[in-house]
Amino acid sequence: MRVIQILPKMKAGGVERGVLDLVRYFKASDNFPNFESIVISAGGNLSYLLENSKVKHYQFSVDKKSPFSLLTVPKISKLILKEKPNIMHARSRVPAWISFFATRNTECHFVTTAHGIYKNKISSEVMGWGKFVICPSKTVARQMKEKFGVPEEKIIIIPRWVDLDKFRFFDYQSRIDDNFIVSVGRISPTKGYQYLIDAFRKVVRFNPYLKLKIVGSVDKNKSRYLDYLKTLVSRFSLNYNVEFIGFNQDIENILAKAKLLVAPSLIEEAFGRVVVEAAACGTPVVATKVGGFQEIINDKKDGLLVPPADPDSLSEAILSLINDSEMAEKLAVNARNKVETKYTMDKILDSLGMVYKKIVKEKRILVTKFSSLGDIILTIPSLARLRQEFPDAKIYLLTLKKYANFFYDCPYIDKTMALSSDYKKIKRIFQMSKRLRRLSFDYIIDLQNNRVSQWINFLSFARKSFGFRRKFGFLLNYTTDYKSGEKIGPLESQERILKLLGITFKTRKLLFWQTKPLDLSHFNLGEDKLIGINVSASKKWKTKNWPLENINSFIKLFGKKYPNYKIVLLGDKASLSQADIIKSFDKNKKVINLCGKTKIVELIELLKRLKLFITPDTATLHLAQCLEVETIGLFGPTNPKLHSVESSTLKIIDKGLPCQYCYKDKCKTNRCMKAISAKEVTLLVGSILEKT
């Protein structure tokens, strides 16, 4: 496995030190023998350490906070083609924007680690687009979920670690001669150093020879703050006691000699790496009660927590440890034990390695099929084949809200995502695309094949997308065409798209999943033999309907020949009035009117009970076929070759009139459906029932 770590610069800092630890560890680890690390950055004073470790390091402009940084995308894309990495792991926002777009339409998975608490939502949004979003603490995880809408199932909490070979434990009593405390972190107002200096002037009243060493670099734009801190030191007459050391690579030795570490931060810290490092060295810790510090330190058991921006509480905590070496030692030992249990490098990085394996193994697939219900039912074989080919994948289906419940127990998909009925509005397109981006799909398979579905898919920025080519060919990565004038069936049409993923149907047949038996006693069906008649198709397609007079004639003929059967009328609420008319001619009380009275799960169970089902070209035709119910399909304005699937359980009646297959939803004569006589349907029904 090849993993690229991409970060702004290889300079002094927690992220950079973490990357160095990571690449060295995986290079030497026996648990991951085929693991190779590559680093991309803009260079820096730690670059030589990568070279010394013989780790590939590519230097690109991935550090500048400017839209022009995206010009680096083609270069990173070429590097991906060259190195063929499995994963691109982005550890900061600018590198994340660049690597996200570079990994589109590649075999390289994109993953992020949110190292901080991000304020700017727009520029930081990309940190939530990783296939998985790794967070060092619950504090960061909560922010990524609440502020950036990252789904909980994508978030993985992996705390930062400490190298116990480097940060060794030193008994607290050995520090008697080293009379200083230390605070480590970049020089920034958010770190609360002004409050630490204020607190320290109270501490030196009781310990005049105690020193405070502040270790950390300062950015150019924070130089005024450093000047302000030095002014405070002079004002409080602490020039002898306070020392600004600047950047120092020898953190482990400084921590090992310090009487305690103070972390006075004012903001929600993402984690607190230096707190764990101090604990590893046996150095007691006083920290503010913010963010990740609270997750590491159990107050008064393995450290002390104080309110932020409170010099009095801070000085009191420092003095309590300086003056009570027994308590300080107890806290230090407990903290070291916690580090050995939770924060060792081998433990954390082994878990990260397992996450990398999961990222590559587990695909996240979205199938888009909005409508209509009949067409959605026809996609079930495709969903089943995807599940067979990708048994470990998370498969989602995007469909209209009114159809989402149809798949509530479908084993071929993990989750349905619902579209509102006004999904064609531009506002809705952007809302849904944003939601899908956050789910970070590897593949989007467009079985809807319209302009809206392709724009939604495009703006979702899946790693790869598949479908039929339309006017805007760039909207999908991989496309196939209909040949001019070609007429193909629904499964053959779907198979052409699936072939783009190397998938074909073993057999072209409709299917369904095993459903739990459902009680239908409230319909008073008894033990009678039943055949069903679908009274009408959708409101739009009245031309598909078998005329009422034909249905009434069939019921009369059928009743005479098969008196032991009852007829169940099915349809939606809109067909209820037509069903009432049919029912009014039922003198022998052989007709059961269930139009508009069945939920979808009840309809499925009801179709299973039928000996035979008669229906025009509508969704229940396909559903009956899926359930292997003997079905007679009555076709007129639509072509059965394009809208049905051949099977032994389906018989088609199609009169073949010159005006047929007009695909008109209005017709003055409706000749094609009227021509299907009650007598021929009765004869066909009889021949089927005699065989069964």
The pLDDT tens digits of the residues spanning 205-228 come to 999 999 999 998 888 888 999 999
CB 470 within 8 A of CB 454: yes
**For residue 376, how many other CB atoms are within 10 A of its CB?**
22
| Residue 537 shares a structural domain with residue 470 | no
CB 86 within 8 A of CB 2: yes
pLDDT category, 580, cuts 50, 70, 90? confident
pLDDT category, 176, cuts 50, 70, 90? low
163 part of a folded domain = no
Per the structure, the count of domains in the chain is 4
| Residue 466 shares a structural domain with residue 589 | no
User: What distance in Å separates the CA atoms of residue 286 and residue 309, rounded to the nearest whole number?
Assistant: 13
DSSP 546: P
| Residue 13 shares a structural domain with residue 129 | yes
Pairing verdict, β 631-635 and 612-616: parallel
**For residue 679, how many other CB atoms are within 10 A of its CB?**
12
DSSP 611: S
Closest CA to 543 of 434, 634, 612: 634
pLDDT category, 250, cuts 50, 70, 90? confident
User: What distance in Å separates the CA atoms of residue 282 and residue 337, rounded to the nearest whole number?
Assistant: 10
| Residue 423 shares a structural domain with residue 560 | no
Residue-wise pLDDT tens digits, 669-689: 889 999 999 999 999 999 999
List the CATH number of the domain containing 33. Answer: 3.40.50.2000
CB 72 within 8 A of CB 61: yes
Residue-wise pLDDT tens digits, 76-130: 999 999 999 999 999 999 999 999 999 999 999 999 999 989 988 899 999 999 9
* Secondary structure tally for the chain: helices H, strands E: 27, 25
DSSP 543: G
CA 577, 578, 580, 581 dihedral sign is positive
| Residue 145 shares a structural domain with residue 48 | yes
User: What distance in Å separates the CA atoms of residue 552 and residue 554, rounded to the nearest whole number?
Assistant: 5
User: What distance in Å separates the CA atoms of residue 15 and residue 216, rounded to the nearest whole number?
Assistant: 14
350 part of a folded domain = no
Q: What string of DSSP letters covers 464-520?
A: EEEEE--SSGGGSSEEE-PPTT----HHHHHHHHHGGGT---SS-------------
CB 38 within 8 A of CB 397: no
Q: Which of 123, 157, 191 lies at the terminal end of a domain, its last residue? A: 157
User: What distance in Å separates the CA atoms of residue 103 and residue 88, rounded to the nearest whole number?
Assistant: 8
The answer, yes or no, to whether the previous bond of 372 is cis (omega within 30 of 0) is yes
- Alpha carbon separation from 49 to 16, 26, 53 (Å, rounded): 11, 15, 6
| Residue 532 shares a structural domain with residue 679 | yes
**Which residue carries 């693991």 as its tokens?**
35
288 contact partners, CB below 8 Å, separation of at least 6: 192, 263, 264, 265, 266, 305, 306, 307, 308, 314
- Alpha carbon separation from 343 to 71, 169, 317 (Å, rounded): 39, 14, 25
Closest CA to 184 of 274, 311, 252, 258: 274
| Residue 150 shares a structural domain with residue 176 | no
357 part of a folded domain = no
Give the structural domain span for 469: 362-501
Q: Please report the beta strands in 354-405, taking only residues with DSSP state E, as ranges in sequence order.
A: 364-368, 394-400
CB 398 within 8 A of CB 368: yes
pTM of the model: 0.88
What are the residues facing 31 on neighbouring strands?
none
User: What distance in Å separates the CA atoms of residue 270 and residue 161, rounded to the nearest whole number?
Assistant: 14
pLDDT given at position 84: 97
Mean pLDDT of 583-604: 86
CB 570 within 8 A of CB 595: yes
569 contact partners, CB below 8 Å, separation of at least 6: 532, 533, 535, 579, 582, 583, 591, 592, 593, 594, 595
67 part of a folded domain = yes
pLDDT at 484 over 70: no
349 part of a folded domain = no
164 part of a folded domain = no
> What 3 state SS string does 226-271 have?
HHHHHHHHHHCCCCCCEEEEECCCCHHHHHHHCCCEEECCCCCCCC
| Residue 286 shares a structural domain with residue 195 | yes
CA 479, 480, 485, 490 dihedral sign is negative
| Residue 531 shares a structural domain with residue 669 | yes
CB 257 within 8 A of CB 221: no
User: What distance in Å separates the CA atoms of residue 568 and residue 593, rounded to the nearest whole number?
Assistant: 6
pLDDT category, 474, cuts 50, 70, 90? confident
The region of weakest confidence among 168-177, 495-504, 540-549, 598-607 is 168-177
User: What distance in Å separates the CA atoms of residue 371 and residue 509, rounded to the nearest whole number?
Assistant: 20
Q: Which of 288, 308, 343 lies at the terminal end of a domain, its last residue? A: 343
| Residue 527 shares a structural domain with residue 636 | yes
166 part of a folded domain = no
Amino acid at site 330: K
| Residue 540 shares a structural domain with residue 668 | yes
CB 626 within 8 A of CB 491: no
pLDDT category, 471, cuts 50, 70, 90? confident
- Alpha carbon separation from 543 to 416, 538, 611, 618 (Å, rounded): 32, 10, 27, 12
User: What distance in Å separates the CA atoms of residue 255 and residue 279, rounded to the nearest whole number?
Assistant: 9
Residue-wise pLDDT tens digits, 30-43: 888 889 999 999 99
CB 616 within 8 A of CB 673: yes
The region of weakest confidence among 251-260, 448-457, 520-529, 593-602 is 520-529
Q: Which of 295, 312, 343 lies at the terminal end of a domain, its last residue? A: 343
Order of strands, edge to edge, in the sheet holding 591-593?
591-593, 565-570, 529-534, 612-616, 631-635, 650-654
User: What distance in Å separates the CA atoms of residue 272 and residue 280, rounded to the nearest whole number?
Assistant: 13
pLDDT category, 482, cuts 50, 70, 90? confident
512 part of a folded domain = no
| Residue 140 shares a structural domain with residue 261 | no
> What 3 state SS string does 299-360 have?
ECCCEEEECCCCHHHHHHHHHHHHHCHHHHHHHHHHHHHHHHHHCEHHHHHHHHHHHHHHHH
Task: List phi, psi (to 5°) of 203.
Answer: -65, -40
pLDDT at 480 over 90: yes
